[in-house]
A and B are shown apart, each in its own frame.
Chain A
Amino acid sequence: MKTCVLNVVLMLTAMLVHPVKGADRVSFNHDVRPILSDKCFFCHGPDSERREADLRLDDRAAAIEAGAINVNKPDASELIRRVLSTDEDEQMPPPSAKLGHLSPQEIETLKAWIEQGAVYENHWAFVPLKPLPETDQSVTSLIDEAVERGLEKRGLTRQPEADRHTLIRRLSFDLTGLPPTPEDIETFVSDKSPEAYEHLVDRLLTSTAYGEKMAVDWLDIARYADSYGFQVDREREMWPWRDWVIRAFNENKPFDQFLTEQLAGDLLPDATQDQILATAFNRLHQQESEGGSVEEEYRVEYVCDRVQTFATAFLGLTFECSRCHDHKYDPITQKEYYQLFAMFQNIDEAGLYSFFTNSPPTPALELTDAATRERLDALQQKVEAIEKSGKELKAARAAVFDEWVKTQSESLSEEKTTLPGELARFPLDEVTGGKLANTVQADQLATLAGGNQIVPGRTGNAVQFSGDDALNLPLGNFGRHEPFSVSLWLQTPDVKDRAVVFHRSRAWTDAASRGYELLIEEGRLKWSLIHFWPGNAISIRAVDPVPVGEWLQVTVTYDGSSRADGLTLYVNGQPARVDVIKDNLTKEITGGGGDNITLGERFRDRGFKEGLIDDFRVFGRELTALEATAIHDEVSAESLLSVDENSEATEDRNQQFEWYLSTIDEEWAKHLKTLQESRAEWYQAADGVKGIMVMRELPEPKPAYVLFRGEYTQRREEVFAGTPAALSPFPEDAPRNRLGLAQWLIDPQHPLTARVTVNRIWQSLFGRGIVQTAEDFGSQGARPSYPEVLDTLSAGFISSGWDVKQLLKTIVMSQTYRQRSIADKKVMEDDPGNEWLARGPRFRLSAEMIRDNALASAGLLVQRTGGPPVNPYELSESFKPAAASGGDGVYRRSLYTRWRRTGPPPAMIAFDAPRRAVCTAKRERTDSPLQALVLLNGEQYVEAARVLGEHVYLEADGDVPGMIEAGFLRCLSRRPDASEVEILSALYREQLEYFRQHSEGAEQLLKIGRAPRDAAIPVAEAAAATVLAQALLNHDASVVKR
């Protein structure tokens, strides 16, 4: 019966308004700030853009100076006059703001506050922590006392300690995410020693399941998923980072290190592979590869996501509000947002991932085990040794060259007419049936497409490109171990901001430019070999621009070294002055499709529109400078080749020697062959190593700007790395990068890091944080229900050396935690969220725990730590259906479930697992009828019930009360009472009778899931036991922690 008919507003506000009585001291943070924040700050707060009448009320001096506050004189304060005014032009908040009037009570509060001196306080969360009191008392007893005082004030008392069955179940879920086994329960319940509870805590904290449990919450924070998200949502391998998280928790890595390694592991001195791996935390955001997306737009999105995740995870602030404007409520400016942005953008990344290749976007860490590392090192050393011996050989062959020269005629020009190693030559003079001739390999023709035209060229004809159509050559799939060269004549009609001259690749951003390419970029030639642009490539760019309307002879060469100094660009026969743009190529340049050289066009790139190309030649070796000169101009090459006995040390002589080595000297040829073979072996091994996205700081910071309205195209004032001024100061000696940022966070003076972390741990145990808004510690967030508890635990956390296990132990040892979770009806109804802690924690288990509990109760759970994700049965019902994993994959713990962002596991989503699109500091906890259907009918749960039924049947040897007792212990961690036995006995009997008459149905039921059935149990009995087990797995106590 509905007894209280309530006005919603009154009902809900009554709980939150704290009237000020007579002479009570008014607290700014408690009483005044909420009023000002709700009614005034929007126009008279920190946001300078929105500020009206140049008045701010969040700053005492400013408010006094403006006359809004006249200290001790409320009646002479403009603020009070305005809120009391009934004149529409004067009253505050103005009617146009539609914020309503201040209540008489609120006005009284403001008056009392001004009368008492208008004392402002810093927002509670920004006040530095006080050190722990000097006392012998444990932190545990300090928090118990604080809670007791709070309860007393409200006329409440703590509940007695819960019974042992309840405690072990509560502790097991809280510390390991799994139910206790019947044996664990027996041991604990029968252990009468006073240390039994503490021993249990210690034991659970050392189990490997602990790390898995703790990882789940962190995966929500880190928006961990096994796919990129957005529309294309391809799968990606980030699970080694998840394993890192599990390891870190199990090793009890101090939280300051845990945080530092994830934010800035790459910047630590002599960073280990594991420390770099930790920084994958910053790359777990969604990524886009949809065709036509703007690269810079998404890059900015990624950096913003990092900032938001950082701010939610460690500061508990809604920093994202400041992306577009100064924060309306908290002291964070838009500029400060972009100061953090500056720290998180400084990596060599692309805004789009590759559609045509599977490589992880750069920067990536190649993940190696010790054996692989050793093998790679050995192969690398071998290559380096051969390179070194090459230098010695070269020195030795100089003498041979001298001798050889003497045997030659006066000029070397006889040798110049042929260039060895030429694979193809396309004069591009004539097109026949869409084909163009190759003078080296007559049957290997080039193919001309679409609107490209044959026009008069430098010699004979040339091809003029439409910019949208390709000229395809039938060769060019070079590996990075192979030296090769390309030579051509080109003419550009205008200054090209970007144009593809030729390339071997499938696409631009859609393939991360995998392959090699000659571009004109900002009017300059750029020659590159690329695994994944921009972070894994070698690239050089000419200093001088390409002249417009002139024929230019261009030769590009590569020596097989995977180094930028192995690239050479010759223009008109002379080495061009170049800048090194990229020098980090560690993976293959082949693959992704587009395995041949293409001229003038590329998929979703800008072609060489109206540009001309003539006489295109490809060589399977690195041409020497002398040859490059010869290609451009035979006459000047000839003069180079003339032998002058008197100029042994000249440049000409060196060029001759290089040419001699490359084309004539047999010893050198052997050396090159060995070098190429050893490189091939090394590269092949390196190419096979899997990479994972991580952070790797660029040597020079990228310029950062305030982005007007947060839009990537709207750059304004330049900004530099920094942290919000309202929080603790940036450590003086810390570097202005992510490492410095981590040092700033873990400084004991920092007001937020420990509080936010402690609060989330508390939330994981109690179902709600001491600050209910775990994601918002700002002035619009909730205030802590027990500030002392939060601060004492936080100070204790820091002084313990950020010891997470100790923090957990401190909390779970408390009487506050150990109370019964059920209080009398009044307490349950007055404080349904358990804000005041007048009882122990009680809430529905998480999606992972519910599934793991079913598997564990049935004895199906496979407790193997780590590894790639698996598909439980439910993925066949997902939005993007996937078949269940083979083997024991369907029985792994739920945190190993494959998390595809557009097709997340539907049964887990029904239990409020987040989709992991963005950082989530607090899960929803809903109860919908759809959950009951999952538990009753989902394949995973029916199978678990079937196997559980078999177990209890065998354990009790078919004795029904015995089966019920065994089932209760497994699922509910306690024994049933008589009426429970009676209800379930009746159920079992009815089911048994039914299945005896419907053996076909029983057979069908027993085929669900892939676990083999125990044929020793009669069919009807096994089926009835399944239904019995289902009742247990659906029991409230199976899905609720108490």
Chain B
Amino acid sequence: MNNHPMMNNTAMNRRTLLGRSAQGLGAVALASLLDPQVSDAAGTPGVLTSLPLPQKAKRVIWLTMAGGPSQLETFDPKPKLAEMNGQPMPESFTKGQQLAQLQGRPLTCFGPQHSFEKYGESQIEICSLFPHLGSVIDDVCLIRSMTTEAINHDPAHMFMNTGSQIAGRPSMGAWVTYGLGNEAENLPGFVVLTSLGRGGQNQPIAARQWSSGFLPSRFQGVQLRSKGDPVLYLGTPAGISRDQQGLDVDAIGQLNRMQEGLTHDPEIATRIAQYEMAFQMQASIPELMDIQGESAETLELYGCQPGDGSFAANCLLARRLAERGVRFMQLYHKDWDHHGGVKEGVALKAQEIDRACMALITDLKQRGMLDDTLVVWAGEFGRTPMSQGSGRDHHNKAMSVWLAGGGVRGGMVYGASDELGYAAVEDVCTVHDLHATMLHQLGIQHEAFSIKFQGLDAKLTGVEGASVLSKILM
């Protein structure tokens, strides 16, 4: 029995690298890398070689709005809350509930700080700060009844990413690349991008959020840094050209392969693959990051400057990663933690993301990729309808998320929160339901996708059970 199914993959044996040809590895690899079309798209297969379900989505772009966006200034209109602005929050809503910083304080209704408008043929009502998104709302499925278990940032991210509040579980990107493999030859299967907001509430996001947990480490997310070298020490040392380093990497590979022959050590295969990927990334990452070649129209669409480290630039990079066969892209955009100044804060965030989200959907669609790319927009929790000064506290009873593409119905609203936006009341969704649905679209049956860990059958969708949100699927 083979416990490391990935060890035996064809790709690795196929590339019994190039030998020491006249031109050396550098030149050959370089040639294939410079043009992604030339490169063999075989990639690396996953453990699930036959999928139980039809695969509607081949890849995921997850837009994580870190800090906890307010549903009340984004996607969940609440006229009743506006009416009750300044009045005490009816106790029937809040009695006995756990709150974060508002625990034990007087609770006052805080009306939505921005107006809402209807958009698209579907006439979905969203905050007027998001007109661009409104222009593509007919491709978007809005869920207004999402809930989560956690109420503080780190465990809430952990829950959203791994289905468990306690660190140590694999992040969804790791699960998915483990199961489905990676189609990209020259890039990791799970890539993480981060961008800072301008408001200042930029809590750090720990690398454990994209950990492979108890899955083999090559499934962990590889984070590209938004400023400076996108990857630490990506560039060759001064005086050493890429070709030169290619020869060195080739020699290292040969030595290691001899060692492998001597030792039958499967770990050496991992190491060889690691050096090959590193070498590929030295070419593929700069090529990926260089968005100069994008047309003026595209840059205008996203509204970003090449290399500005913005969320929009990351959205464009995500599309480029998707084109190159990367399985799972997760984009963190920070600064949504509006305990104070939610009005100005969300307005600033809207400026940073509204156009970029529209651009991503539009761009994927015009390239025919939206059908098999699942885009998800979600924070780690929502915010209270009660005021905390000029802001809102963390809240886990109601939040809004949206999905687009990947076989999900567009132009629909799923679920609802109560009239004050305090708790989801109709078609209440859990994070596990969201995960189950995403896996379903990827062709994976969530109940059967598990691994034994610490004596339990560990699943992304947890032990409490989860339901695929079939109503939102095409």
A845 smallest CB distance to B (angstroms): 12
**Residue-by-residue, is B9-30 near A (CB-CB < 8 Å gives 1, otherwise 0)?**
1100100000010001000000
A938 neighbours in B (Cβ, 8 Å): 232-233
Chain B, Cβ-Cβ closest to A843 = B267
Chain B, Cβ-Cβ closest to A321 = B166
Q: Is there an interface contact between A980 and B255, defined as CB atoms closer than 8 Å?
A: yes
- Does A842 belong to the interface (CB within 8 Å)? yes
With A13-B457, A983-B254, A1035-B256 in contact, is A936–B265 under 8 Å at CB?
no
**Residue-by-residue, is B259-287 near A (CB-CB < 8 Å gives 1, otherwise 0)?**
10011111110110011011101100000
- Does A824 belong to the interface (CB within 8 Å)? yes
B22 smallest CB distance to A (angstroms): 11
Which one of B65-73, B75-83, B243-251 is at the A interface? B243-251
A98 neighbours in B (Cβ, 8 Å): 463-465
The distance in angstroms between the C-alpha atoms of A844 and B267, with both chains bound, is: 9
B262 neighbours in A (Cβ, 8 Å): 822
Of A709, A842, A1035, which contacts B255 at CB under 8 A? A1035
Q: Is there an interface contact between B48 and A1003, defined as CB atoms closer than 8 Å?
A: no
Q: Is there an interface contact between A986 and B20, defined as CB atoms closer than 8 Å?
A: yes
- Does B377 belong to the interface (CB within 8 Å)? no
The distance in angstroms between the C-alpha atoms of A34 and B179, with both chains bound, is: 27
B4 neighbours in A (Cβ, 8 Å): 829, 832
**Residue-by-residue, is A810-835 near B (CB-CB < 8 Å gives 1, otherwise 0)?**
00000000000010110011101000
- Does B122 belong to the interface (CB within 8 Å)? no
Residues from 13 to 71 in A contacting B, C-beta threshold 8 Å:
13-16, 34, 37-38
- Does B241 belong to the interface (CB within 8 Å)? yes
A877 smallest CB distance to B (angstroms): 6
B252 neighbours in A (Cβ, 8 Å): 1031, 1034-1035
The distance in angstroms between the C-alpha atoms of A771 and B251, with both chains bound, is: 39
With A924-B217, A1035-B256 in contact, is A932–B274 under 8 Å at CB?
yes
Q: Is there an interface contact between A932 and B218, defined as CB atoms closer than 8 Å?
A: no
Residues from 430 to 457 in B contacting A, C-beta threshold 8 Å:
448-452, 454-457
**Residue-by-residue, is A696-724 near B (CB-CB < 8 Å gives 1, otherwise 0)?**
00000000000001010100000000000
Which one of A178-186, A502-510, A773-781 is at the B interface? A773-781
The distance in angstroms between the C-alpha atoms of A1001 and B238, with both chains bound, is: 7
Q: Is there an interface contact between B239 and A1001, defined as CB atoms closer than 8 Å?
A: yes
- Does A495 belong to the interface (CB within 8 Å)? no
B94 neighbours in A (Cβ, 8 Å): none
Chain B, Cβ-Cβ closest to A1 = B10
Q: Is there an interface contact between B5 and A38, defined as CB atoms closer than 8 Å?
A: no
Residues from 207 to 250 in B contacting A, C-beta threshold 8 Å:
207, 211-212, 217-218, 220, 222, 229, 231-241, 244-245, 247-249
The distance in angstroms between the C-alpha atoms of A385 and B279, with both chains bound, is: 75
Of B248, B263, B448, B456, which contacts A7 at CB under 8 A? B448
Q: Is there an interface contact between A822 and B1, defined as CB atoms closer than 8 Å?
A: no
The distance in angstroms between the C-alpha atoms of A685 and B252, with both chains bound, is: 59
Contact-residue bracket for chain A? 35 or more
Q: Is there an interface contact between B450 and A9, defined as CB atoms closer than 8 Å?
A: yes
The distance in angstroms between the C-alpha atoms of A1030 and B259, with both chains bound, is: 17
Residues from 995 to 1010 in A contacting B, C-beta threshold 8 Å:
998, 1000-1008
Q: Is there an interface contact between A1036 and B259, defined as CB atoms closer than 8 Å?
A: yes
Of B231, B239, B268, which contacts A930 at CB under 8 A? B231
The distance in angstroms between the C-alpha atoms of A1040 and B255, with both chains bound, is: 14
Q: Is there an interface contact between B233 and A934, defined as CB atoms closer than 8 Å?
A: yes
The distance in angstroms between the C-alpha atoms of A824 and B263, with both chains bound, is: 8
- Does A1015 belong to the interface (CB within 8 Å)? no
Chain A, Cβ-Cβ closest to B7 = A829
A838 smallest CB distance to B (angstroms): 13
Residues from 832 to 874 in A contacting B, C-beta threshold 8 Å:
832, 842-844
A529 smallest CB distance to B (angstroms): 34
Q: Is there an interface contact between A99 and B463, defined as CB atoms closer than 8 Å?
A: yes
The distance in angstroms between the C-alpha atoms of A1007 and B237, with both chains bound, is: 10
Q: Is there an interface contact between A1005 and B239, defined as CB atoms closer than 8 Å?
A: yes
Chain B, Cβ-Cβ closest to A17 = B452
Chain B, Cβ-Cβ closest to A1002 = B239
- Does A1037 belong to the interface (CB within 8 Å)? yes
B259 neighbours in A (Cβ, 8 Å): 1035-1037
Of A13, A711, A828, which contacts B265 at CB under 8 A? A828
Q: Is there an interface contact between B258 and A780, defined as CB atoms closer than 8 Å?
A: no
- Does B103 belong to the interface (CB within 8 Å)? yes
- Does B104 belong to the interface (CB within 8 Å)? yes
Which one of A530-538, A590-598, A889-897, A902-910 is at the B interface? A902-910
Q: Is there an interface contact between A994 and B255, defined as CB atoms closer than 8 Å?
A: no
**Residue-by-residue, is A709-749 near B (CB-CB < 8 Å gives 1, otherwise 0)?**
10101000000000000000000000000000000000000
- Does B3 belong to the interface (CB within 8 Å)? yes
Chain B, Cβ-Cβ closest to A1034 = B252
Q: Is there an interface contact between A1027 and B20, defined as CB atoms closer than 8 Å?
A: no
B237 smallest CB distance to A (angstroms): 5
B185 smallest CB distance to A (angstroms): 13
Q: Is there an interface contact between B244 and A991, defined as CB atoms closer than 8 Å?
A: yes
Q: Is there an interface contact between A936 and B248, defined as CB atoms closer than 8 Å?
A: yes
Q: Is there an interface contact between A2 and B452, defined as CB atoms closer than 8 Å?
A: no
A984 neighbours in B (Cβ, 8 Å): 251, 255
- Does B47 belong to the interface (CB within 8 Å)? yes
B212 smallest CB distance to A (angstroms): 7
Q: Is there an interface contact between A1036 and B268, defined as CB atoms closer than 8 Å?
A: yes
The distance in angstroms between the C-alpha atoms of A1008 and B239, with both chains bound, is: 10
The distance in angstroms between the C-alpha atoms of A7 and B188, with both chains bound, is: 24
The distance in angstroms between the C-alpha atoms of A254 and B107, with both chains bound, is: 57
The distance in angstroms between the C-alpha atoms of A709 and B152, with both chains bound, is: 14
Q: Is there an interface contact between A1034 and B241, defined as CB atoms closer than 8 Å?
A: no
Q: Is there an interface contact between B270 and A927, defined as CB atoms closer than 8 Å?
A: yes
The distance in angstroms between the C-alpha atoms of A780 and B454, with both chains bound, is: 6
B339 smallest CB distance to A (angstroms): 10
Of B49, B98, B240, which contacts A709 at CB under 8 A? B98
B48 neighbours in A (Cβ, 8 Å): 8
The distance in angstroms between the C-alpha atoms of A937 and B233, with both chains bound, is: 5
Chain A, Cβ-Cβ closest to B8 = A2
B275 neighbours in A (Cβ, 8 Å): 929, 932, 1034
Q: Is there an interface contact between B239 and A1004, defined as CB atoms closer than 8 Å?
A: yes
Residues from 900 to 923 in A contacting B, C-beta threshold 8 Å:
902, 906-907, 909-910, 915
- Does B2 belong to the interface (CB within 8 Å)? yes
Of A9, A11, A773, A830, which contacts B457 at CB under 8 A? A9
The distance in angstroms between the C-alpha atoms of A200 and B156, with both chains bound, is: 51
A295 smallest CB distance to B (angstroms): 15
The distance in angstroms between the C-alpha atoms of A1003 and B234, with both chains bound, is: 21
Of B10, B103, B212, which contacts A713 at CB under 8 A? B103
A16 neighbours in B (Cβ, 8 Å): 452, 455
B458 smallest CB distance to A (angstroms): 10
The distance in angstroms between the C-alpha atoms of A418 and B5, with both chains bound, is: 95
- Does A399 belong to the interface (CB within 8 Å)? no
The distance in angstroms between the C-alpha atoms of A1002 and B449, with both chains bound, is: 53
- Does A135 belong to the interface (CB within 8 Å)? no
B43 smallest CB distance to A (angstroms): 13
The distance in angstroms between the C-alpha atoms of A1001 and B449, with both chains bound, is: 52
Chain A, Cβ-Cβ closest to B450 = A9
Chain A, Cβ-Cβ closest to B282 = A933
Q: Is there an interface contact between B248 and A1031, defined as CB atoms closer than 8 Å?
A: yes
- Does B92 belong to the interface (CB within 8 Å)? no
- Does A782 belong to the interface (CB within 8 Å)? yes
B7 smallest CB distance to A (angstroms): 8
Q: Could you write out 11 A-B pairs with CB less than 8 Å apart?
A: A2-B8, A2-B10, A8-B449, A9-B451, A16-B455, A97-B463, A98-B464, A780-B454, A781-B455, A936-B233, A1027-B244
Interface residues of B (CB under 8 A from A): 1-5, 8-10, 13, 20, 24, 45, 47-50, 98, 103-104, 179, 188, 203-204, 206-207, 211-212, 217-218, 220, 222, 229, 231-241, 244-245, 247-249, 251-252, 254-256, 258-259, 262-268, 270-271, 274-275, 277-279, 281-282, 448-452, 454-457, 463-465
Given A877-B229, A1040-B271, 11 more pairs with CB closer than 8 A = A7-B448, A8-B449, A711-B103, A909-B207, A929-B277, A931-B278, A932-B277, A934-B232, A1005-B237, A1031-B252, A1035-B259
